[in-house]
Amino acid sequence: MATQMQQAREGRITDAMKIVAEEERIPVETIRERVANGTIAICANINHKNLRPRGVGEGLRVKVNANIGTSSTFPDIEPELEKLDEAVRCGADAVMDLSTGNNIDVSRQRIIEHSPIMVGTVPLYQATVRSIREHGAVVEMTDDDILETIEQQAKDGADFMTLHCGVTRSAIERMRRQGRVMDIVSRGGSFIAGWMLHNEMENPLYEHYDDILDICEKYDVTISLGDGMRPGCTADATDRGQLTELITLGELVDRAWKRGVQVMVEGPGHVPYDQIEANMKLEKRLCRHAPFYVLGPLVTDIAPGYDHITAAIGGTLAAVSGADFLCYVTPAEHLALPTIEDVHTGVITSRIAAHAADLVRGVPGAREWDLEMAKARKVLDWNRQMELAIDPDLAKKKRGARNPADEGACSMCGDYCAVEIINKYFHKENCPCQD
């Protein structure tokens, strides 16, 4: 079966393109054209049967991903499925299964089977766990371990895969010569860098890129080119290692598109606010405007417990400047495996950042949503405000806890509500306090 990109280039409009066009309020021919040229990716593995496709990229609503998955400390899949349900309920567009606990295959298969939204994976995690169990060390991982894992995850229905193909020996050497505070913080990046340094060989994901393209073409898996050299603190942002990897990723985008394989590019983690716009424009320039998927960026390093906020600050500017897909950051970032409450907070916070950018990007429906909320506030229509709230349950809880049931204004202003006062004297006919 042809990929979405291959069909788009042949002039065919797929069912997935129709669904994306309807959701985005954009002509379906525009979707087809942008899928054909690679600026939109529709991450939809042919084996993910209950998926409602979504598009990522040019002119579309900024999408939000939630990370879930088991760990060696918490290997039970059931809580992760509950987190998946919560992420979907909160409006996430994708989840990534980052499982490293027991029975990784079963965890992934159950998540994909359960998920109506895009599912991403990181095959290197499973290949590493497999290598440790079978060979005793990460550095004993074989090329077959990696390729067989990618094939299995594609066969199971993963819609997109983070693959750290750009962590090359030259990128590592440039990073080493320049020096870094935190070296490599990407888990996948550290796995492959450790393997390369120990074996004194080039990255097998880079060396076997054509084999990977064969697999992804077969199942229509979107490659998400991982940022294994991303900065782990603001002091390391926009350095030689990061930019060397980005140049390589741009070349890998070209090779994927030549085969008709869809691709996204992943972006930096910790970036000072004044460097974010430049980072986004560099990616778009070097990677030919491929969809850009960013973690954060986190604009400061000093806020453990509040990193969902530091990421939202950076995420809004990133999306305004060109990023198309935000990976959520939860209050547990840098601290622990997130709880279901952390997942809720992370998704909602990232959605706020994404929507703030949508307003600036001119995404259809974004300004209308804000305008409807403003109109409801003007007449103190609390029911309508709750309907329009991005987190209705929290809004209702806050409203109900601190206001009398029949109160028109809120208890912040009480008898001195600005809305009531101006309506009384400026728009008498709209005032909810008039008989």
DSSP secondary structure string, 331-378? TTTTTS---HHHHHHHHHHHHHHHHHHHHHHT-TTHHHHHHHHHHHHH
The reply, when asked if residue 188 is annotated as ligand binding, is yes
Cα distance between residue 207 and residue 170, in whole Å = 14
Spatial contact of 66 and 338, defined as CB atoms under 8 Å apart: no
Residues 6 or more apart in contact with residue 138 via CB below 8 angstroms: 128, 131, 132, 191, 194, 195
The reply, when asked if residue 266 is annotated as ligand binding, is yes
Coil, helix or strand for 387? helix
Spatial contact of 230 and 168, defined as CB atoms under 8 Å apart: no
The reply, when asked if residue 334 is annotated as ligand binding, is yes
The reply, when asked if residue 308 is annotated as ligand binding, is no
The reply, when asked if residue 287 is annotated as ligand binding, is no
List the Cα angle 193/80/46 in 5-degree steps.
Answer: 75
The reply, when asked if residue 412 is annotated as ligand binding, is no
Residues 6 or more apart in contact with residue 59 via CB below 8 angstroms: 24, 26, 30, 34, 40, 361, 363
The reply, when asked if residue 96 is annotated as ligand binding, is yes
Reading the block at residue 94, the tokens are 């994708």
The reply, when asked if residue 187 is annotated as ligand binding, is yes
The reply, when asked if residue 227 is annotated as ligand binding, is yes
SS3 track for 264-316 = EEECCCECCHHHHHHHHHHHHHHCCCCCEEEECCECCCCCCCCHHHHHHHHHH
The reply, when asked if residue 186 is annotated as ligand binding, is yes
The reply, when asked if residue 408 is annotated as ligand binding, is no
Spatial contact of 34 and 57, defined as CB atoms under 8 Å apart: yes
Please report how the helices 78-89 and 104-114 are oriented relative to each other, as an axis angle in degrees rounded to 10.
30
Task: Find where tokens 């073409």 sit.
Answer: 217
The reply, when asked if residue 410 is annotated as ligand binding, is yes
Reading the block at residue 343, the tokens are 């997942």
The reply, when asked if residue 350 is annotated as ligand binding, is no
The reply, when asked if residue 43 is annotated as ligand binding, is no
Residues 6 or more apart in contact with residue 16 via CB below 8 angstroms: 4, 42, 44, 53
The reply, when asked if residue 232 is annotated as ligand binding, is no
Cα distance between residue 346 and residue 327, in whole Å = 9
The reply, when asked if residue 164 is annotated as ligand binding, is yes
Q: Which residue intervals of 90-239 are DSSP H helices?
A: 104-114, 123-135, 143-156, 169-178, 187-199, 204-207, 209-219
Spatial contact of 75 and 60, defined as CB atoms under 8 Å apart: no
The reply, when asked if residue 125 is annotated as ligand binding, is yes
The reply, when asked if residue 417 is annotated as ligand binding, is yes
Beta bridge partners of 161: 121, 223
Cα distance between residue 270 and residue 229, in whole Å = 11
Q: What is the CA radius of gyration of the chain?
A: 23
Please state the residue numbers annotated as binding site for substrate: 67, 96, 125, 164, 186-188, 227-230, 266, 293
Please state the residue numbers annotated as binding site: 67, 96, 125, 164, 186-188, 227-230, 266, 270, 293, 334, 410, 413, 417
Please state the residue numbers annotated as binding site for Zn(2+): 270, 334
Please state the residue numbers annotated as binding site for [4Fe-4S] cluster: 410, 413, 417
